[in-house]
Structure 1
Amino acid sequence: MTVSTTIPGTVGGVVAQAAVASSAVLPRIPDVGPAERRLRICVVYSRTPVPMRRADQMTVAHLLAFLDARGHEVDLFYVDTGAEAEPEDRAWLIRRTRRCFGFALNRLSVLAGLTRVVMQLLPFQVGLFTAPAQLKAVREAVKTNGYDILYTYYFRSAEITRDLGFPTGTPKAARAGRPASFLAFQLSQTLNTRRIAKNAPDLTHKLFYEVESRLVERYEARIWRHFTRSVLIGKTDVHEIREACRRQGVLEIDNFVYGAHGTDTSRFAPRPDIPVRPDHLVFSGVMRTPTNVQAAQWFVTNVWPLIRAERPQATFAIVGREPTGEVMELAKVAGVTVTGTVPDPALLIAEAAVCVNPMQAGGGMQNKLIEFMGSAKAIVATSVANEGIGAPSDCLVVADAPRDFARAVLDLLADPARAADLGRRAREHVLERWTWEAHFLTLELNFYEAIDG
C-alpha cells in the first residue's frame, strides 16, 4: 500500500512508513491469505480508528487490518475528533491503507451541523458528524477512483455517501459505473436512543434523548433506501428498524445483511500467568458512554449492596477510560474501584473471579461481553447485554432483577468449578462464532454478491 497524501481540509500530514515500535494496543494482522478477487474500497468513518478506545473504533481498525491482509486497496476518509493519537497509531493507519485522509471537526463545521439539524430535521449525531470537507472529498474521490465498494460505518456518516452508490436491485446496465454502497448501521439507533432516554439520570438528558430518538427514528426508517446494502448485527436490530418504518408509514427495510463484531482471541484469552483474585468482579468499557455509566450506577446502587451483605470482602473494579464524575463517585462505595485509563483492560479482566455486564440500555451487541467470553470468564449479564450475541445458557448467566443478578454472582463465587466450566464454554463459543475473521469473510462475500448481483 502507498503512503497517503493530504488534501485541502485534512489535518496532519504525510506519515512516513517506518518500523515503529508501538506501545498502544493495535489490531494484529490476521492470517487469512489473499482474496481471490481484489477490490477497490472507500471506507468512510466518523472517528479516528486508532487508538481503539471505543467498540466502533475497534471494529473499523480490525476491518482495515483484514482488508489489507486480503490485498484489497482501501482509501480511508475519517473525521478527526481531536482524540490523541501517537505517531505509531497514524503510521499503522497509513500502512493499512492506500490513502488515508483525516478531516477536523472545527467550530464552523459544528455550526453547519447544527444548522442541518434544525433545517433538515436530522438527528444531532448525523448533523454534527457531517463534515463539509469530508463530504466534498469523498464525493470527488468516488467520481474519479473507480471504487467497487463504498463502505460507510455508522449511519451518522450517511449524508456523506448517500446516493453515491447504486440502490439495491439496480440492473448492471443502469449502474453507470457507481460502486455498491454499504451503510453499516450495526445497531438500531432508534432502539438505542429510546433506551438511553428511558434510563436517563436527569430531566435534561431525558428530554435531549427523547427528541433525538424521534429524529433518529424518522431518519433511520428512510436512509437505508439510499444504499445498496444495510449492515445490521442481528434480528433484533432488523426488527426495530422495520417497526420504525411501519410507524413512519414508509417501505420496510429489505436490503440488509448481517455483520456482527468480533474479538481478538489472542489478546482476550485465558491468562494462567495472572492469578484470579477471590471474590473480585470486573466491568469494563468506555466510562463516559451514557449506557456504560447507567450500567455501572445501576449495579453499584442496586446489586452491589446485596453481594457485599453476603461477601463483605468482595471487590468490584470498574475498568475503562474517561470515567465521568458520576462514575468517579462510585469509587466512594466500599469495595469499589474506578481504574480510569489502563494500558490493556485484558490484564485486569484476567484477575476477575466473575465478570459482570449489567447494561440497562443500548442496542446491537456488546464487545465487552465477547471479550469476557474470550477471556474464559464466568459472566453474569442482563438480557439487554446478551441481546445482540445470544450466548446460550451454558456460556453465561442472564439475570435482570437486582436480587436475581446478585444471587447469580454469589452462586458463581461460591462454586469455582461451575464458574470455570462456564468460562471454558464461553471461550469455545467465541472461537466458533465471534472471531473478526469469520465475520469479515462473510462481509467480503456480501461485497462480491452486491457487485455481481
Structure 2
Amino acid sequence: MQDLLLLIHRIPYPPNKGDKIRSYHLLKHLAQHYRVHLATFVDDPDDWQYLPHVQKLCASSHFARMNPLAARVKSLGALLKNRSLSLDYYRDAGMARWVRDTVAANGIERVLVFSSAMAQYADPYRGARRVVDFCDVDSDKWRQYAEQKSFPMNLLYRYEARQLLRYERQVARDYDASLFVSAPEAELFRQLAPESSAKIGHFSNGVDTDYFSPNESYASPYAPGERALVFTGAMDYWPNVDAVQWFCDAVFPLLRARHPDLRFYIVGSRPSPAVQSLGQRDGVKVTGTVPDVRPYIKYAAVAVAPLRIARGIQNKVLEAMAMATPVVVSPQALEGIDAVPGSELVLAEDAPAFADAVDALLDGQGSGQANAGAAIGQAARAKVQRQYSWSSNLACIGESLECN
C-alpha cells in the first residue's frame, strides 16, 4: 500500500455523528487503499473518546488539542497580516512539525486535505500529488453570514469571506484536484475561480442506510401520544442556530395555534445560549447531546430543515429521508440534494408555506390521507438507497489521487 497524508480540521467521528460523517467515511474509505497518516484537531473534550476507534484506521496519527475560545482570540491576529482568520484559527506549530517529519520519514507522495484551512499544512509539499476536499465553499458561507449580521460583525465576516476566497483560489490553482459536496457547490466555485475550472469536481455525501433504517427497533424518546417535530444538528453551529430561532419565531407559533399539543424538539450537541433559551418557550424542547438521534427521527411526525444559510448538502435531510420520516425543507436546505419536492420531501419557501406544509402532513396522519406522509417517507428512503451510497460516491477519490 502507498502512504497517504490526510489532513482533517476536526477529528472524524464514527458514523452516528452527523456533523462529521463525510470526513469519517472518507477516512474509512482511504484506509482500505492506503497507509493513512492522519493529522487532525480535537476541539471538544468529549471527542477524545473516539481516538482509539480512529487510530485503528491509521498507520500513524497526530491529534492536536484545541481550545476554541483561545483559537478565536489568536485568529484575530490575522487582521494585522491581511490574511484569513480561518488559517490562523487552525495554525499549530506542533502539527506542522509532525506533518514535516511524517512526510520525510515515509516518503509521502499523496496528500488529501479536508477543508480549506488545513491546506496550509500541505502547501510546502509541491512534489506530492495533492487533492483538496473543500466540501463547501466556505468563503461564500462567510459572505452569507455578513449579510445576516449587523455592524461590526458584518465587516469582520465580509473581510473573512474576501480573504478566505483568495486562499481558496490559491489552493485550487496549486493543487491537482479540488472537490466539493455537490454539483451546485462545484459550479459556484468554478464561477469564483474560473482559472481552475478544469480541476474542479464533486462527490456527494452518502448515508449508511443500514444504520439509518426505520426497520430497527428503538424505544420512543417522546411521551405517549406526543406529536413531535424534530430538528437535528450541531447546535453551536450558527446556521443551525439561526434556523431554529427563525422556526420558533415565525413558524412554530402558527402551528401551535392549530395543534396546541405539538412539540418541537431541537436535538443536537453543544446548544448555544441562544438555543438553550428557546427551550423556555412553551412546546419547545432542547435535548443537548443524545446517545442516538435515530429514535428522535423515527418517531417524529415530521422532520424540519428550515435553514436560511446553507452550503453543500445537509446530512440532516438525507438522514431523515433514510429513516422514511417526511421532511419539510427550505430551498437552502434542499440545495445539492436530488430529491423531488412533493413526492420525496416537501419544499417550503417562507414561514406561512412552511407551517402549511407541516400542517398538511400532520392532518394527514390518522385520517383518510394517512398515507401521504408515509408515501413521501418511503419514496425518500428509496431515493437515498439508490443515489446516496458512500461506496459509490467515494470512488472518485482514488481517481483524483492517482490520475497523472
TM-score by length of 2: 0.90
Matched pairs, number: 393
Structure-1 separation of matches of 2:76 and 2:17: 24
Partner of 1:245: 193
Q: Is the 8 A contact 1:222 1:245 kept in 2?
A: no
From 206, 210, 228, give the equivalent of 2:158: 210
Q: CA deviation at 1:308?
A: 1.2
Partner of 1:34: none
From 212, 220, 231, give the equivalent of 1:268: 212
Structure-1 separation of matches of 2:120 and 2:73: 16
Tell me whether 1:195 sits opposite 2:151 in the alignment.
Answer: no
Partner of 1:45: 8
Deviation track 1:226-254 (CA, whole Å, cap 9, x = no partner) reads: 211101122322232233336xxxx2433
Q: CA deviation at 1:315?
A: 1.1
Structure-2 separation of matches of 1:91 and 1:125: 28
Structure-2 separation of matches of 1:361 and 1:108: 26
Structure-2 separation of matches of 1:224 and 1:326: 37
3-state SS of paired residue (1:192): helix
Partner of 2:203: 259
Partner of 2:349: 400
From 85, 88, 93, give the equivalent of 1:127: 88
After TM superposition, list the pairs within 5 Å mapping 1:82-93 onto structure 2: 82-87=44-49, 89-93=50-54
Structure-2 separation of matches of 1:118 and 1:183: 27
Alpha-carbon distance change, 208 to 271 in structure 1, aligned in 2, over 3 angstroms = farther
3-state SS of paired residue (2:47): coil
| Unmatched tracts of structure 2, length 5 or more | 365-369
From 242, 257, 280, give the equivalent of 1:332: 280
Partner of 1:427: 381
Percent identity for Structure 1 against Structure 2: 26
Deviation track 1:7-54 (CA, whole Å, cap 9, x = no partner) reads: xxxxxxxxxxxxxxxxxxxxxxxxxxxxxxx43211011222236796
Q: CA deviation at 1:334?
A: 1.7
Structure-2 separation of matches of 1:286 and 1:306: 26
After TM superposition, list the pairs within 5 Å mapping 1:40-439 onto structure 2: 40-50=3-13, 55=18, 57-68=20-31, 70-87=32-49, 89-105=50-66, 114-119=76-81, 121-165=82-126, 178-200=127-149, 202-245=150-193, 251-271=195-215, 273-274=217-218, 279-393=227-341, 394-415=343-364, 416-439=370-393
Structure-2 separation of matches of 1:53 and 1:130: 29
Paired AA for residue 270 in structure 1: P
3-state SS of paired residue (2:198): coil
Deviation track 1:133-172 (CA, whole Å, cap 9, x = no partner) reads: 212321332234233420010001111112524xxxxxxx
Alpha-carbon distance change, 260 to 281 in structure 1, aligned in 2, over 3 angstroms = same
3-state SS of paired residue (1:254): helix
Structure-2 separation of matches of 1:204 and 1:51: 38
Q: CA deviation at 1:302?
A: 0.6
Paired AA for residue 427 in structure 1: R
3-state SS of paired residue (2:264): strand
TM-score by length of 1: 0.80
Alpha-carbon distance change, 338 to 374 in structure 1, aligned in 2, over 3 angstroms = same
Q: CA deviation at 1:411?
A: 0.6
Structure-1 separation of matches of 2:213 and 2:139: 34
Q: CA deviation at 1:396?
A: 0.4
Deviation track 1:102-159 (CA, whole Å, cap 9, x = no partner) reads: 223479987775445532x222112210212212321332234233420010001111
| Unmatched tracts of structure 1, length 5 or more | 1-37, 166-177
Q: Is the 8 A contact 1:50 1:90 kept in 2?
A: no
Structure-2 separation of matches of 1:288 and 1:358: 16
3-state SS of paired residue (1:287): coil
Paired AA for residue 430 in structure 1: V
Q: Is the 8 A contact 2:229 2:304 kept in 1?
A: yes
Q: Is the 8 A contact 1:191 1:362 kept in 2?
A: no
Structure-1 separation of matches of 2:17 and 2:54: 17
Q: CA deviation at 1:182?
A: 0.8
3-state SS of paired residue (1:422): helix
Paired AA for residue 295 in structure 2: L
